[in-house]
Structure formats: C-alpha cells, structure tokens
Structure 1
Amino acid sequence: MKNLLCFGDSNTFGTNPAKPGTRHPFDVRWTGRLTTLLGPQWRVIEEGMGGRTTVFDNPLEPQRAGIQALPIVLQSQRPLDCAIVSLGTNDLKEIFHASPRTIAAAAEQVCAAIRDYPYGGCGPAPRILLVSPIAVKPGISRSPYVGFEEDAVERSQRLAPFYREVAERNGWMFLDASTVAEASDLDKLHMGPESHARLAEAIADIIRSEFAD
C-alpha cells in the first residue's frame, strides 16, 4: 500500500460553505473521493486545517503556519510515497500583505521542507504535487471568514503561474486547482460538492500517471 499525504487548509479539511463551521462528509470532500478513485492500493492521509497558511503566523489564528506543523506530521505519518501541498489561500489575508510571487515562494518552502526532511529508515522522500489554490470570489470581504479584503480576489487569480514555475524548477508535479474547481457563491471561499469531485478526479489522474510504473 502506498501512502499519500494531503496537506492543506480548510478546502482540504472540507469546510462546507452551506453551513459555516461544518465539514462535508468524507465521501463528499476531495480527499475522501480520492480514496475511492485510487482504490485499496493507496492510503490517503487527510491533514487539512482551517486558516492554515504556508509559513505565516497569524496572531488572530495562532498555530496555523503549515511549515511549523510539518515536522510533527511527517514524523508521525512516514513513510510517504507522495505528498500533496495545497496551501496559499490564507496567505492572501490582509494582515500578511503578500504578493502572489511571495506566496508561491512560501509554498516552495513548505514543499522543500517535505523533500528535505530526514526520513531515516522510512525514506526516501515522497514525490510532491504542488496545487495552486482556487481563486476566491468577489464579495470575499463579506464572507463569514474574516481577514480577507477584496484585493485578495485579483491576487488569487495570479497565483497559478508562480506556483507552476516553482513546481517546474524543482521537478514537482503541478495542478492549477482553479482550472477544475471554484469557490462556492455562498461564502466565496470554500468548494461545494461538485468542485470537490472535479478536484479529486484531476488529482487522481496525475497520481495514476506519476505512479504508472
């Protein structure tokens, strides 16, 4: 059995835009659908957290920096054959003033930490799939989830090229999630069931191709 880590934020956790504060059922969120699509030869490990950033500390939402959580996650979940990193949306919050290029560089740090972790006898390092997040929608400043201003919309739409460049330079797999999924009109931030399904299918195609041998 191969082990696949899904490391992300609330859209990996599966926050339900129809009921703020709740979570889609396992068979609805993309991680659960991916489990079904890949079959019994894969163990899909969910590691999503609402508010999680790449590397930034948010005093309004403490202990959410992904780079700080990674050592514990990697130590407890090794060995890993593949790791999916889907972060960056929360880096768009007003408090960080981060450009798309900066956010992509921060995502690169997270992926590099996975690549360079000392797995010891549970090595080698996993293959990495970097996922550029879906765009947030206009009206995000009025979302139930505070911290976003309207300029986050335009910046979120410019993330993918920077993420792609990072992935290609490092030899990592890449997916622009916005090409297959979108935020719900309900909260402008989180995916509904249809987008979870499409994202799972796109990721499954990449994983099958990468591990075809």
Structure 2
Amino acid sequence: MNILCFGDSNTYGYCPDGSGRFDADTRWTGLLQKKLGTNDRIIEEGLCGRTTVFSDELREGRRGLDTIGILLESHAPVDLLILMLGTNDCKTRYNASAGTIAKGLEQVITKAQKSSPHPFRLLVISPILLAPGVGDPGFDPEFNKGSELVSQNLATEYKKIAARYHADFLDAASVANASETDRQHLDALGHRLLAEAIYKKITT
C-alpha cells in the first residue's frame, strides 16, 4: 500500500527549537513506516507553511490546492491519502474562521479526487491545537489569541468534511500537544503519540 502524507511543518518534522528537522526515526511519518513494515510505503510530503487554499505572499508554493493534484499523479498509485493541514490557515493575515478553513480543506479533497488516476482511501486529520500564548513576544507573531480559538474549532468542522467524503477522521489534538518550546509544533513525544494513533486508525 502506498500512503501519501500531505501536510505542513508537523508532517515535515520541524523541530520546535528551530534547529532543523527531526530525523526519520523521530518524525511521525518515519515511525509510521517502521510500524507498518516493508509491505507499505510512506511518501512524505510535508512542507513548512503549507495552507489549504491561502497564498503566502512571503513564500511561494504554499497552497495545498496547487500541488495536491500533481503529487497524486507523480506518486501514483496512491492507496491512502493522509491530509493534515490547517495550522497555518489560522495565521492572522488570513483572518479565516474554522468553517472557512474547512471549506479550503474540502477543495483540496475534491482536487485530489479529480486528479488521482486511481481511487484512494482518505484519512482527514485535524491538527494539534495552537498552545496558549503562541503569538506572545518571543514566539510567533503570525498568530494571536484569535488564532488559538480558530484552531480549537477545526476538529468539529473537519469531522463534518470527513463524514461528507466518507473518509476516516482523527483529531490529532486528542492524542498530542504542541511543544512548550514554540507552542505550535510537535516535539519528539508528540510525534510518537501521533504515529501510534494514526497506525491504529489505518489498521483497524
């Protein structure tokens, strides 16, 4: 089974202390590969700053909608698509509600289904919550208190989208938390907990 993991920095494996990227033995995608064994193949497609449909004027190529179709073609056949996006959509510059972000996710799903040359199973994951104070001085000024509230409402909206498209659903915030270091990224423990939850979800 070919499994495409499409997400942002928490799929990429960004280290909360800004030192780079967790290695394959630490990030959840690598851990999931180990759990599944050699009969399944994990395809890592995590990109820092990736959104569902919003354009980042400071960084090119961050709209998931623009690349999901290309990736499904280039990695064909994809048997399972795991989508975990939404954290970056909570940035203040986009001024988007959880409902609007969910509509963006729906566009990504629709594009994926239209573009893939093969039918695939879908797992929608709502991201971990932005921790309190993520926008405080010394942390990330792209977020504020409003961003925190929006992130708290994503799971409810994403679950509706998953049901609409007959997809599996997992709330990452129910199993893992943002690191205390930067209040937005998974630490090593978070990656391990998420890998375990995803493994259970896709094998049961």
TM-score (norm 2): 0.96
SS at 1:80 equivalent: coil
Residues in 2 aligned to 1:208 and 1:183: alpha-carbon distance in whole angstroms: 25
Residues in 2 aligned to 1:192 and 1:105: alpha-carbon distance in whole angstroms: 29
Asked if the contact 1:111–1:130 (Cα under 8 Å) also holds between the matched residues in 2, the reply is no
- Please list every run of 5 or more consecutive structure 1 residues that lacks an aligned counterpart in the other structure: none
- Please list every run of 5 or more consecutive structure 2 residues that lacks an aligned counterpart in the other structure: none
Asked if the contact 1:81–1:126 (Cα under 8 Å) also holds between the matched residues in 2, the reply is yes
* 1:67 maps onto 2:65 in alignment: yes
**Which AA in structure 1 matches 2:110?**
A
Percent of paired sites with the same residue: 42
2:14 corresponds to which residue?
15
**Which AA in structure 2 matches 1:164?**
K
**Which AA in structure 2 matches 1:77?**
H
Residues in 2 aligned to 1:87 and 1:21: alpha-carbon distance in whole angstroms: 22
2:132 corresponds to which residue?
138
1:93 corresponds to which residue?
91
Residues in 2 aligned to 1:10 and 1:106: alpha-carbon distance in whole angstroms: 18
- CA-based RMSD of the aligned residues comes to 1.2
Deviations 1:58-104 (A, max 9, x none): 10222200110112211210101000000000000111110001111
Could you list the runs of 4 or more consecutive aligned residues of structure 1 that deviate by over 4 angstroms after TM superposition? Answer: 143-146
* 1:161 maps onto 2:156 in alignment: yes
Residues in 2 aligned to 1:102 and 1:149: alpha-carbon distance in whole angstroms: 18
2:123 corresponds to which residue?
129
TM-score (norm 1): 0.92
* 1:49 maps onto 2:47 in alignment: yes
Residues in 2 aligned to 1:154 and 1:51: alpha-carbon distance in whole angstroms: 19
Asked if the contact 2:51–2:88 (Cα under 8 Å) also holds between the matched residues in 1, the reply is yes
Deviations 1:143-193 (A, max 9, x none): 554421221111111110110011012101100000001100110110001
Count of residue correspondences:
203
107-116 or 75-84, which moves further after superposition?
Answer: 107-116
* 1:34 maps onto 2:32 in alignment: yes
